[in-house]
Amino acid sequence: MEDVRRTKLLIIGSGPAGYTAAVYGARAMLAPILVEGLQPGGQLTITTDVENWPGETAIMGPDLMAKMRTQAEHVGAELVSDIIASVDLSKRPFVAVADSGTVFEADTIVVATGASARWLGLESETRLRGRGVSACATCDGFFFRGKHVAVVGGGNTAVEEALFLTNFASKVSLIHRRDALRADKTNQARLFANPKVEMIWNAAVSGVIGEDGVTGIELTDTETGSKRTMDVDGLFIAIGHDPATALFQGQLAMDAEGYILTAPDSTATSVEGVFAAGDVKDKLYRQAVTAAGMGCMAALEAERLLAHGAKSEAREAA
Ligand SMILES: Cc1cc2nc3c(=O)[nH]c(=O)nc-3n(C[C@H](O)[C@H](O)[C@H](O)COP(=O)(O)OP(=O)(O)OC[C@H]3O[C@@H](n4cnc5c(N)ncnc54)[C@H](O)[C@@H]3O)c2cc1C
């Protein structure tokens, strides 16, 4: 027989946004159900030290997420180990079907499915992730004070990451496959004027060198195919992110890159009763604390909608 679960609030995703929405939703007596997905705890479970979470001098990413999970359970959220495979946002209540076959019927939904950084796909890169290989300068730049780091990419994000890293590193080498950047001209001018920045054109990173930490990289010339090595202490990959929004294509308004659009100062999406929080809607900050903040907003907005049945003014603008 079909397993049908009815809830006032369904939260999809178990990163900082999802767990925080669960805490606020449970404390607002909405008895939320949170479906954890393929990566319980989200992106922070694949990192080591987190030094910018308020109240923690330093905490391992998996430990921080375990604490958030415990707190969400403690206040009464129901955490379900499953993956949402499809949603129908045209029906009321909304319908979400999980991989296990469970059908969730929900009055409101918080989408907190996050995003994932694009990686180069090298075995050595995966092995050294969190040990010198990073996709987040804001998160990890501080660990490279006085060191030489390399950044891979050619768009605005790569240029901004490289410039940000000059605040800490003694030298930043920006590696790009072509002989010109895609980043806008103002960003490029700032980059080229920075004495700490070295440009390496027509090169691809073909290997990361090091046992317990990064000591260098292998570069392949994209024109000649010749290889060389370069000593560096860290490698930042800045080739883009993919928001986990395939489930919602055609049902929620999104930008050209697939990020869910929300109303200004709100997590309200283009469908009343559906809210989006965290990296799934944010390509600017991409931080645990901002994701958690949006999770809080989303649960509060869901609670208000359920309490007042009011049409969300904020959504009108989404
Ligand atoms: C290596 C690394 C290091 C980082 N270091 C820091 C740091 O030091 N400080 C910091 O502030 N930020 C850091 N970040 C960024 C931070 O991890 C993210 O900004 C944050 O995790 C975003 O939270 P989120 O809740 O939006 O989504 P995520 O953490 O991306 O979580 C998404 C969740 O959605 C779930 N999900 C996806 N699809 C489905 C589905 N179909 N059904 C059910 N569930 C689904 C996944 O299982 C996952 O639980 C780091 C990121 C990385 C990758």
How much distance in Å is there from the Cα of 272 to the middle of ligand 1? 25
CA atoms within 13 A on the CB side of 18: 32
Cis peptide before 32 (omega within 30 of 0): no
How much distance in Å is there from the Cα of 44 to the middle of ligand 1? 6
3-state secondary structure of 7: strand
Active site residue 233: no
Predicted local confidence at residue 58, as pLDDT = 95
Cα 183 from Cα 317, distance rounded (Å): 30
- Ligand 1 lined by 288 (C-beta under 6 Å): yes
Tokens of 245: 């929004």
Tokens of 71: 């707190």
Mutate to test the pocket of ligand 1, among 33, 49, 136, 248 (most ligand atoms within 8 A of CB): 136
How much distance in Å is there from the Cα of 162 to the middle of ligand 1? 22
How much distance in Å is there from the Cα of 145 to the middle of ligand 1? 26
- Are 122 and 204 contacting, i.e. CB atoms less than 8 angstroms apart? no
Cα 105 from Cα 309, distance rounded (Å): 18
Cβ atoms within 10 Å of 189's Cβ, excluding its own: 11
Q: Is 71 left (phi over 0), alpha (psi -120 to 50) or beta?
A: alpha
3-state secondary structure of 159: helix
- Ligand 1 lined by 97 (C-beta under 6 Å): no
Domains defined for the chain, CATH in brackets: 4-116+241-316 (3.50.50.60), 119-237 (3.50.50.60)
- Ligand 1 lined by 135 (C-beta under 6 Å): yes
The distance of Cα 126 from the centroid of its chain, to the nearest Å, equals 17
How much distance in Å is there from the Cα of 68 to the middle of ligand 1? 13
Cα 249 from Cα 210, distance rounded (Å): 41
- To the nearest 5 percent, what fractions of the chain are helix, strand and coil? 30, 30, 40
Tokens of 11: 């939260």
Predicted local confidence at residue 192, as pLDDT = 97
Tokens of 154: 């050619």
What dihedral do alpha carbons 21, 25, 26, 27 form, nearest 10°? 110
- Are 298 and 277 contacting, i.e. CB atoms less than 8 angstroms apart? yes
Return the ligand 1 atom nearest residue 117 CA. 53
Predicted local confidence at residue 2, as pLDDT = 76
Tokens of 287: 């931080």
Catalytic-role residue among 139, 233, 279, 296: 139
- Are 113 and 37 contacting, i.e. CB atoms less than 8 angstroms apart? yes
- Ligand 1 lined by 292 (C-beta under 6 Å): no
- Cα–Cα distances (Å) from 297 to 61, 106, 173, 188, 293, in that order, read 23, 18, 39, 36, 6
R_g of the chain, CA atoms, integer Å: 21
Predicted local confidence at residue 266, as pLDDT = 98
Predicted local confidence at residue 311, as pLDDT = 53
pLDDT (tens, 9 = 90+) of the chain, 318 residues, equals: 679 999 999 999 999 999 999 999 999 999 999 999 999 999 999 888 899 999 999 999 999 999 999 999 999 999 999 999 999 999 999 999 999 999 999 999 999 999 999 999 999 999 999 999 999 999 999 999 999 999 999 998 899 999 999 999 999 999 999 999 999 899 999 999 999 999 999 999 999 999 999 999 999 999 999 999 999 999 999 999 999 999 999 999 999 999 999 999 999 999 999 999 999 999 999 999 999 999 999 999 999 999 987 555 555 555
Nearest CA to ligand 1 atom 39: 37
Predicted local confidence at residue 107, as pLDDT = 98
Nearest CA to ligand 1 atom 15: 287
Tokens of 59: 């905490």
Active site residue 296: no
Cα 221 from Cα 105, distance rounded (Å): 54
- Ligand 1 lined by 139 (C-beta under 6 Å): yes
Catalytic-role residue among 49, 63, 136, 221: 136
Catalytic-role residue among 82, 140, 233, 282: 140
Predicted local confidence at residue 4, as pLDDT = 97
- Candidates 130, 188, 200; CA nearest to 160 is 188
- Ligand 1 lined by 65 (C-beta under 6 Å): no
Predicted local confidence at residue 47, as pLDDT = 84
